[in-house]
């Protein structure tokens, strides 16, 4: 039989042994369990998971068992900020090879709906996103992923930094939506992990000045340590209008922060909502109309992983300094609690395969 025009490829057998995973059964009920090692299907690769960043959504599921309409009904493996090593290939894999380190884009869309075909696959209604009910995530030793959503990492990007490509992709997408360009004056409200990544990305894209606000002193100190000079305590009166900002990227989720920041924008400026807080906020319509401001939101990202990897590989955005806690899989619960127990905590990373991998 002719194989002309087809891709034939051998693939390795999957490893034997336990596949330990951090499984959420309900609010505050996280258990380390044994699960079968998955077999990679067509166009899938099997990863040994090297590092997983803890996201605010992971913490929210752990604390509340839900985010909006997404409810943990059945046991769920958390985690979606992922770096792994390819250890086996499924049938017809053509883009990756065994041994490569990759970061994972955790949302796989349907690929055929109107939004997917228009390039807006991040808002596909059928997207399957790791660590979001009912889709298991990456806080496990082994995980099978679609090869199209696994991106090779250069040697200059560590395993831990590779896990943070996912939140960096959020920052890149936010800056693109804000149309940040050389010389712009950009205000970032909220100095958590996403806010710090957004501020660094805006600077890497050539923003002339980047202002950062927060109510938490330790986070403002952290921003100063990253080289940002225009750092402000949002709890204190301040005048940030001279000169006004060209763009606002709101990362705190605070309605008060949004309302105050909108006052600082020049006519025609863009405000991008990134932080998830209150479901409903009051908007000064008169201000939006008089200054013809553009107000938009973002939902994850689309087609930005190569750009995020490039920023990390060239150290134009510093990822490793954000990591304030490192945990093995058995201590995932401590990683989920770190932010509430230590005001200086920024980002926790779990290493399911161990630190020697």
Q: Is residue 240's pLDDT more than 60?
A: yes
| pLDDT score at 77 | 98
Assess whether pLDDT exceeds 70 at residue 356.
Answer: no
User: Looking at per-residue confidence, does 278 or 297 come out higher?
Assistant: 297
Q: What is the mean pLDDT of residues 330-353?
A: 96
Which pairs with CB-CB distance under 8 Å and at least 24 residues apart come from 257-263?
Answer: 257/189, 257/190, 257/213, 258/189, 259/284, 260/234, 261/187, 261/189, 261/213, 262/287, 262/288, 262/293, 263/287
Calpha distance 214→62 (Å, rounded)? 25
Cα torsion 266, 270, 275, 280 to 10°: value is 90
DSSP alpha helix (H) spans, 179-331? 193-204, 217-225, 255-262, 285-291, 305-313
In the prediction, which pLDDT does 9 show?
44
pLDDT value at 8 more than 60: no
Average pLDDT over residues 124-139: 97
Please report which confidence band the pLDDT of residue 18 belongs to, taking 50, 70 and 90 as the band edges.
confident
Query: What's the mean pLDDT in 40-65?
Result: 97
What integer is the mean pLDDT of 320-335?
Answer: 98
Q: Lowest-pLDDT range, 3-17, 95-109, 282-296, 300-314?
A: 3-17
Which pair of tokens denotes residue 61? 């599921």
- CA–CA dist 62, 221 (Å, integer): 28
CATH architecture of the region 169-297 = 3-Layer(aba) Sandwich (3.40)
* pLDDT value, residue 357: 62
Residue 157's pLDDT is 98
Higher pLDDT, 14 or 197: 197
In tens, the pLDDT along 179-221 reads 999 999 999 999 999 999 999 999 999 999 999 999 999 999 9
Distance CA(327)–CA(336), nearest Å, equals 10
- Binned at pLDDT 50, 70 and 90, residue 13 comes out as low
Q: Is the pLDDT of residue 254 over 60?
A: yes
Structural fold of domain 19-164+319-351: Quinone Oxidoreductase; Chain A, domain 1 (3.90.180)
Residues of the chain with CATH 3.90.180.10: 19-164+319-351
pTM across the whole model: 0.94
Determine the pLDDT at residue 35: 94
pLDDT tens digits for range 70-114: 999 999 999 999 999 999 999 999 999 999 999 999 999 999 999
pLDDT of 354 > 50? The answer is yes
What average pLDDT does the chain have?
Answer: 93
With CA atoms as reference, report the closest residue to 354 among 332, 329, 334. 329
| pLDDT beyond 60 at 5 | no
Of 97-106, 130-139, 235-244, 290-299, least confident by mean pLDDT is 235-244
Pairwise CA distance, residues 266 & 200, whole Å: 22
């Amino acid at each position: 039989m002719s194989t002309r025009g087809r891709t034939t490829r051998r693939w390795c057998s999957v490893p034997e042994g336990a596949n330990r995973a951090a499984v959420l059964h309900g609010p505050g009920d996280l258990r380390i369990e044994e699960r079968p090692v998955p077999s990679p299907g067509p166009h899938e690769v099997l990863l040994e998971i090297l590092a997983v960043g803890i996201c605010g959504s992971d913490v929210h599921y752990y604390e509340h068992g839900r985010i909006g309409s997404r409810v943990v009904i059945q046991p769920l493996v958390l985690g979606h900020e992922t770096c792994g090593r390819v250890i086996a290939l499924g049938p017809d894999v053509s883009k990756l090879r065994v041994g490569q380190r990759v970061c994972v884009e955790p949302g796989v869309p349907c690929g055929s709906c109107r939004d997917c075909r228009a390039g807006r696959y991040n808002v596909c209604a059928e997207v399957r996103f790791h660590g979001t009910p009912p889709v298991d995530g990456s806080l496990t030793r082994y995980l099978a992923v679609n090869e199209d959503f696994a991106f090779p990492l250069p040697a200059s990007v560590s395993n831990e930094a590779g896990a943070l490509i996912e939140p960096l992709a959020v920052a890149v997408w936010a800056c693109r939506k804000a149309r940040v360009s050389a010389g712009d004056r950009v205000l970032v409200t909220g100095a958590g992990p996403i806010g710090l990544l957004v501020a660094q990305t805006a600077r890497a894209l050539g923003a002339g000045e980047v202002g950062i606000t927060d109510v938490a002193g330790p986070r403002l100190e952290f921003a100063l340590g990253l080289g940002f000079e225009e750092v402000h305590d949002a709890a204190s009166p301040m005048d940030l209008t001279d000169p006004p900002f060209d763009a606002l990227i709101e990362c705190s989720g605070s309605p008060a922060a949004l309302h105050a920041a909108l006052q600082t924008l020049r006519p025609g400026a863009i405000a991008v909502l990134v932080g998830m807080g209150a479901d409903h906020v009051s908007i000064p319509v008169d201000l939006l109309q008089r200054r013809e401001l553009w107000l938009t939101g973002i939902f994850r990202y689309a087609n930005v992983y190569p750009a995020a990897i490039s920023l990390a590989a060239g150290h134009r955005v510093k990822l490793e300094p954000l990591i304030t806690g490192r945990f093995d899989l058995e201590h995932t619960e401590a990683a989920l609690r770190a932010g509430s127990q230590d005001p200086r905590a920024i980002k926790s990373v779990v290493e399911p395969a161990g630190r020697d991998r």
